[in-house]
Amino acid sequence: MEAETALDGRMSVLVLSKHEAVRRQLVAHLARSPQLAVTGASDGRMAIAEVHPRIVVLDLSGLDPMTLARFIALAAESDVRLIALASVHDPRQEGQIVAAGGAYLLKAVGAGCLDAVLEMSAAAV
């Protein structure tokens, strides 16, 4: 499966979060960019298969280590760039995500930092 851009040429971004409020806020924020086609979902496996995103923004809140490992593997096999958002710094999670070529951000850094990392990630994909 190859990651794609949206039909209109915009970069396809999938926001994954179990928390509807977090997901809606991230989608609304990122969708302000005319270069991005942003979708949100709570079920990552199904959404990645349906959306074929270039970039996945993953909310790490409440993810157990096994689920995180599955997301990392799924992103790798789908050729998707992973940007993980954490509420609290976890060096083990950070190491796993960075080793897989993803980006690890603390939510406290704010939306501007997420925008910058997203731009760099889009340029690298």
Q: What is the pTM of this model?
A: 0.87
Contact 86, 93 (CB under 8 A): yes
The pLDDT of residue 29 is: 92
Q: How far is CA 50 from CA 4, 28, 40, 91, in A?
A: 11, 20, 12, 31
Contact 44, 58 (CB under 8 A): yes
How many CA atoms does the CB half-sphere of 40 hold within 13 Å? Answer: 16
The pLDDT of residue 125 is: 63
Q: Mean pLDDT by 10-residue block, N- to C-terminus, for the chain (125 residues)?
A: 57 92 93 91 83 92 90 89 94 95 91 84 72
Tell me which of 3.40.50.2300, 3.40.50.2000, 3.30.1360.120, 3.50.50.60 is the CATH number of domain 11-120.
Answer: 3.40.50.2300
- H/E element holding 58? strand 55-59
The pLDDT of residue 1 is: 35
